[in-house]
Amino acid sequence: MSVTSFALLQSLVTPVLSELRTELGTDQRTVTWVMTAYLLSASICTPLIGRIGDRIGKRRMLVGALAGLSVGSLVAGLAGSIEVMIAGRVIQGVGGGVLPLAFGIVRDELPARRVPGAIGLLASLGAVGGGIGIVLAGPIVNALGHRWLFWLPALVTGVTAALAHVVVPDSPGRRAGRISAAPALLLSGWLASLLIAVSQGNAWGWASAPTLALLLGAVVLGASWIAVERRSSSALIDPAMMRLPAVWTTNAVSLLVGFGMYAAYAFLPQFAQTPQATGYGLGASITESGIMLLPMAVTMFCAGLLSGTLVRSAGPRTIVVVGCLISAAATAALALAHDEKWMHYAANAVMGAGTGLVLACLSNLVVAAVPREQTGAASGVNANVRTIGGSLGTAVMAGIVTAGPRADGLPREAGYANGLLVLAVSLVAAAFLALLIPRAARGGRGHGRHHDKAGHALESAP
């Protein structure tokens, strides 16, 4: 429930930004900060909260993250101005820590043989929640108004926080040591600089002074963060952990997967809503364009349920490769054939199946590769890498779609087609890169590994 609630809020607002712009009396450029602020906050909080949970207890941080999500939703729901709405979305971003904390709790509490399936299910629920958010946005606004996009999640996450406090056991193992402020500040600084530059680059201009300054700042702060972490006796993100072959290769694949998959989801409703007068659009309403994504949510969930069985028979690396190729094929097919609604439904369903397989296996690969007390940090970084990839993909897709618009200002058909083909190519590249992921023991036995002092994975004795 906690993972699904956070995922819902990632996408629930996306289809109704135009409605929020009118209700709050703002302009298009400003209203996009409703999404950007949430993205920034979640990206910063995800690795930090995951790491703090490894130190002081995952249950405590899970309850705190859910409470922050509920408070932020309440603030956004009460907002009478765009500034208060953005502040509420920043607070909501605290919920970014829910996913890595949930992975850590599953690893702590379940037998090793059940961990891969449970993590696969959680990863799929996170992705499915994002799809369901797009489906529900239109009906909620039409029936209740835009404020209920926030009040309903506030109620659900508040109840979930109370249940988590009662039901979730306390963490059996914690990583010793203090949490240094300098790495946390530097990590937040370079992430914020990078994501603001990427999300606003199309609006500001990629060669503009603000964009270039932020990109340069991201490089400088990122290099400083790495240097500080290497010297720290209590690193926020352990450099030795990040250099593990299974970790860096999985994170690299996650970057390309985020680039290809998340950017597609952001533009599919817009593609379907394009007026029929253009000759290629379907003229779908906000509600109908959301319903077109429902097959994706269903197949994604089913693929997540099946991922544990498939991993035991074929191994996680193979499933990642196959899942990336399935999603790439569906994305390319939609780029080339999109004149009928059934084509969108079919492509979305196939895309969801590939996505469900990939996300479940990537999460399992990271969790299996690191010591138990670093699960939250490693999972948080992996989730963040996908977010950064999604931001980059969305920026690239936006640039392609909006280049050379029609006389009426709407995108040309070639803009969507070429953009989707670029995303398909990124997924094919992810499949080839996935071949570099070290072969893991089948059936989740990697979760029984132990690690030496440098953090390198060692096979457990039979």
pLDDT digits (tens, 9 = 90+) for 78-95: 988 899 999 999 998 888
DSSP codes joined into one string, 100-116: HHHHHHHHHHS-GGGHH
For the chain, the structural domain boundaries read 2-169+236-450, 180-234
pLDDT of residue 348: 93
332: left (phi over 0), alpha (psi -120 to 50) or beta: alpha
Angstrom CA distances, 195 to 173, 188, 201, 297, 333, stand at 34, 11, 10, 27, 30
pTM of the model: 0.78
Calculate the CA 369 to chain-centre distance.
20
CA–CA separation, 322 and 434 (whole Å): 10
For the domain covering 2-169+236-450, report its CATH number.
1.20.1250.20
Please give the average pLDDT of every successive group of 10 residues along the chain, which has 462 residues: 70 75 79 81 82 82 90 91 91 84 81 75 71 77 84 87 84 61 85 85 86 94 89 74 87 91 80 89 84 86 81 86 95 94 94 89 82 75 82 82 82 91 95 87 42 38 30
Sequence-ordered list of residues with C-beta below 8 angstroms from that of 289, at least 6 positions apart, any chain: 15, 134, 138, 268, 269, 270, 272, 273
Q: How many contiguous H segments (helices) and E segments (strands) does the chain have?
A: 19, 2
Residue 444 CB-density burial (10 A; 0-12 exposed, 13-18 middle, 19+ buried) = buried
Angstrom CA distances, 316 to 126, 309, 311, 328, 357, stand at 19, 10, 5, 18, 9
CB atoms within 10 A of CB 191: 23
Sequence-ordered list of residues with C-beta below 8 angstroms from that of 98, at least 6 positions apart, any chain: 2, 3, 5, 6, 62, 65, 66, 69
CA–CA separation, 8 and 17 (whole Å): 15
Which of 39, 23, 32, 137 lies closest to 81, judged by CA?
23
Residue type, 73: S
Residue type, 126: G
CA–CA separation, 434 and 426 (whole Å): 12
